[in-house]
Amino acid sequence: MAILVADPSLAWQEASKSKQSIRLMTAGTLDSIDRTISWSLRSDWDIVRRDWSMAVGDINDLLENLTEHAKPSLDLTPHLARLTVRSTVQSDVLDHTIFQTRRRAAMVLRAEVVSSTIPLVKLARILIKKLLKMIPKKRNSEPDTGINSETLEQFHDAFDSITADLMEIMSSVRFVKYNREATLGVDFRDDILTTLNDLTKILETTSTNIASRLMPLLYGAEHAPHASEFKAWSLTLEEAWDKVFARLLVRVSSFEVEPEEQPQQENQRIREIDT
């Protein structure tokens, strides 16, 4: 009321803004209600199909990012190029040359990690797509039998471990590329090895766990033959996974890494570079 008496036009502006905000909030709430109703009308299999299709989308995005990083960028950055020009002291030139050599080596090895990880991502995608094709296409009016909330939740989270670890590798290689001071240190190698150890049997575990719950739901009492067929197929996939994984593990383990610098040493080198 004080605003209305002091400045009626300002009061009307505030009222108009509030009215517009209420309309937007109401529209958003109605959309949320519509989505909830639509979701509740879906069959459980539709929900599983949507979740697994989203996992394929995540894998595709990861594969695209890895492909972009698969080639080493060996050109000096403008920052490093300026260092060579501006350095007048012989020892500085030598230090910068050594750093550039280490940086180039890190970029080459980073690209090797990426190139070796891509087949693992593709194999994970093959597994998810195979399982997607096995999901029955049921009408919403048809009841879903045997899918309880626990099973539905496990299906929802089925591929989280695979995608999370593969994305962790992506994060490590991105750090090496975009951090201009990064060389191939112990931390990088150990982080990759830790992630690889988590991935060791993850494809086998995931396919086995899903199949053990999926087959009885799909085929009931007659699921045993289909489970055997899927197991034979998945074994072939797992063998390919193990071979690629073993090569990557050996390669990363053999990396000649730089010893980690003490904080004061690192700060001193950065100050020298920036001057």
Residue extents of the structural domains in the chain: 1-41, 44-274
Report which listed range, 123-127, 258-262, 270-274, is most confident. 123-127
Of the candidates 124, 128, 146, 130, the residue with the CA atom closest to the CA atom of residue 45 = 146
pLDDT at 85 over 50: no
Position 77 pLDDT exceeds 50:
no
Identity of the amino acid at 116: S
Q: Which residues contact 273 (CB under 8 A, 6 or more apart)?
A: 83, 96, 99
Residue 63 pLDDT exceeds 70: yes
Tell which residue, 245, 247, 161, 171, has the closest CA to residue 207.
161
Q: Predicted confidence band at 269 (pLDDT cuts at 50, 70, 90)? A: very low
CA distances from 28 to 22, 34, 58, 132, 181 (A): 10, 10, 27, 32, 46
Count CB-CB contacts under 10 A for residue 184. Answer: 21
pLDDT more than 70, % of the chain? 65
Mean pLDDT score across all residues of the chain: 75
pLDDT at residue 182 greater than cutoff 70: no
Lowest mean pLDDT among 8-17, 33-42, 75-84, 132-141: 75-84
> Lowest-confidence range among 70-74, 177-181, 187-191?
177-181
pLDDT at res. 72: 65
User: Is pLDDT above 50 for 228?
Assistant: yes
pLDDT at 180 over 90: no
pTM, whole model, 2 decimals? 0.70
Between 27 and 61, the more confident residue is 61
Q: Which of 19, 20, 18, 38 is nearest to 30 (CA)?
A: 38
At 126, the pLDDT band (50, 70, 90 cuts) reads: very high
Assign 84 a pLDDT band (cuts: 50, 70, 90): very low
The H-assigned helical ranges of the chain are 2-6, 8-41, 44-68, 78-86, 90-134, 149-156, 160-178, 186-199, 202-219, 223-253, 263-274
Identify which has the larger pLDDT, 131 or 262. 131
Which of 27-31, 151-155, 157-161 is least confident? 27-31
CB-based contact 71:172 (threshold 8 Å) = no
Q: What is the mean pLDDT of residues 103-111?
A: 77
User: What pLDDT band is residue 210 in, cutting at 50, 70 and 90?
Assistant: confident
Per-residue confidence band for 122, with pLDDT thresholds at 50, 70 and 90: very high
Confidence of residue 98 (pLDDT cuts 50, 70, 90): low
> Could you give the CA distance from residue 117 to residue 139 in angstroms, rounded to a whole number?
39
Q: For residue 3, name the pLDDT band (cuts at 50, 70, 90).
A: very low
Q: Is the pLDDT of residue 187 over 50?
A: yes
- Residue whose token pair is 């009841």: 143
